[in-house]
Amino acid sequence: MSGILIAEDEERISSFIEKGLRAAGYTSHVVTNGGDALDFASSGSFDLLVLDIGLPGLDGFEVLRRLRSSGSTIPVIILTARDSGADTVAALESGANDYMSKPFRFDELLARIRLRAQDAVPADRSVLSHGDLSLDTRTRRATIGSRTVDLSAREFGLAEEFLRHPDQVLSREQLLSRVWGFDFDPGSNVVDVYVRYLRAKFGPEHIETVRGMGYRLR
């Protein structure tokens, strides 16, 4: 593990990020096209990828899709053009951990990098299990006993959060900020909806509702 990979074809932006990261004590490496972004990010040598959507060669979406389908769990923060809400949603759905809209302040990006780099899964803890439930965070496989369960990227993220904190009550706000990772409307019922999806797939007894507080993995 040796730092941050920056995939950005605009030199002005990449050098701005690189200088800021150096000042904050991080090492970084810049690539300027999608093919290199995929190769370097897949190498296992980086803690986190800052990924521009508009890259030559493979665009950022394609890089992200290929990374996730090959089982890579490297945290990814995407950079989108301002006012491209559709891009943002698409990127988060394809497995990005967070996003920044250009133009952005460096300290905002740094805060997100610090947060997301901590989520990186150490190699020896790639399999999380509790009772008969187990998740391999590298291959993105979920199993109950000997049965494999198909989970979407977001369902997997939610299941992972529960397995990292078994028997703990997790509030909707905690789950929103950790799994969805951005300023989601706190009145949103997206957590409840996804808990329902997980119960349907795992069996209802695995996730308990704690009235007025949140949910708990049993």
Q: At its nearest, how many Å lie between Ca ion and the CB of residue 79?
A: 8
Stretch that binds Ca ion, among 6-14, 81-89, 169-177, 190-198 (CB under 5 A): 6-14
- Encoding tokens for residue 99? 């996003």
Residue 100 vs 159, nearer CB to Ca ion: 100
Cα separations (Å) of 207 from 166, 172, 199? 10, 13, 7
E strands along the chain, which residues? 4-7, 28-31, 48-52, 76-80, 98-101, 127-130, 133-136, 141-144, 147-149, 169-170, 207-210, 214-217
Q: At its nearest, how many Å lie between Ca ion and the CB of residue 47?
A: 22
Closest by alpha carbon to 92, among 64, 131, 55? 64
Q: At its nearest, how many Å lie between Ca ion and the CB of residue 83?
A: 16
Taking the alpha carbons at both ends of the chain, their separation in whole angstroms is 34
Output DSSP code: residue 97: S
**Which of 18, 36, 47, 52 touches Ca ion (CB under 5 A)?**
52
Cβ-closest residue to Ca ion?
54
**Which of 3, 9, 153, 184 touches Ca ion (CB under 5 A)?**
9
Residue 52 vs 155, nearer CB to Ca ion: 52
Stretch that binds Ca ion, among 50-58, 68-76, 152-160, 161-169 (CB under 5 A): 50-58
Q: At its nearest, how many Å lie between Ca ion and the CB of residue 30?
A: 12
In angstroms, rounded to a whole number, what is the distance separating the alpha carbons of residues 79 and 168?
34
- Encoding tokens for residue 100? 């920044």
Show the binding pattern over residues 54-93: x = contacts Ca ion (CB under 5 A), - = does not.
x---------------------------------------
By the criterion CB under 5 A, which residues form the site for Ca ion?
Answer: 9, 52, 54
